[in-house]
Structure 1
Amino acid sequence: MRIWGQIMTAEQTETDMPTADADEAAASTRNALDGVDLDRAIEALLMVADEPQSVMGLATALNSPVKEISAAVERLVADYDGVDGCIRRGFELREVGGGWRIYVRSDYDEVVAAYVSEQNPSKLSQAALETLAVIAYKQPISRGAIASIRAVNVDSVVRTLLGRGLITEAFTDSETGAINYATTDLLLQQLGINSLDELPPISPLLADGSEGFDDDVR
């Protein structure tokens, strides 16, 4: 009986170890947040994050209830927007691509664009921008179809857009073997929008109607 008791005790100890480790990790997170303002903690995470952060992701990172995180995000949005006597910031907290990210306020786009162009002159060519527009509005679309619309060879431009992470290979046509391309979440982030539905209608921007585009294209 004594041996059996020892075995049971050992098994119980092994079973409890993962739970103990998890509890210790959770406790460590709670200790790190002791005395820390939740709003400022979220702000700090958003400042170092490379991608938009979902409310669920922030709740997990800060070991806090989703409801509290949502309320804190709303307070930050109001804070940056200058609500209730707060100073309106030069940046804003915007919901993009299923998460939250800090962006420069649109009022200061020209100032930032001028600074960035001086610091980093590398930017997409006109050909790349036009090709990206075709893909954004007509996706999924093959390279041949893009070339047909633009009436030029687009091989190198498509490679550039792929390299920048702005487009991706969506699928390969089973009949023709042609690769179809689509835009990525990175493009949404760069444009500061949640979905392609927020793109402006393209017809008014075309010189002569909708040449190369269907009538129902946005």
Structure 2
Amino acid sequence: MSCQRSKLIELKQLKSTIESILFVIDEPVSLRKLSEVTGAGKDVVKDVLDSLGLEYENDYRGFLLREVADGYRLYTNPANASVVESFISSSDCKRLTQAALETLAIIAYKQPVTRSQISEIRGVNAEGSIATLMQRKLVEETGRSNSVGNPILYGTTKKFLESAGLKTLKGLPNLEDFAPDEQTKEQIRKSLDNKDETIPHPSSPVPSTD
């Protein structure tokens, strides 16, 4: 492989690396920082950034690279502002509340689970959160429990896996890794091993509305 071809490949790799960084940052990244993490000189990094900026602009991409006071960052193309704003304000794009996130976590790890079990674990009525999660198609009814009254069982959906970046539920993080002590770890093990039991909660259980 010629020296010139080798340098071209290295430049393409650098361009790809910088572009990946730009996609994951929440705040502008400085030229100095990009130079540090890539090992390339500031002049080379600056040339790559200029090249990317022109490429995005000339190809009429949905995003543009801007140099601001603190560094560089990708921004949505102003030409698409009205559509982007409409999308962000839609119900499907709104962030979940803390209550909904807690409920979703319980369903993900405990499924199939009934509404009363979820409420007992959280210590508050979970009906509203479940309705929100079903509306967002993150949770669905999976059947009926064999317990008294045959309450509805809930589980996560394919959309949940897609949103969480998971192939299957086996990819969920191990809850024991977040436990502060061995007693809590054991409590988690028992709860997840037995789907018919609920995790003990210090609050009084909420009456079932199933």
Shorter-chain TM-score: what band?
Answer: 0.3 to 0.5
Tell me: higher relative CO, structure 1 or 2? Use CA pairs within 8 A at least 6 residues apart: 2
User: What is the TM-score when the length of structure 1 is the normalising length?
Assistant: 0.46
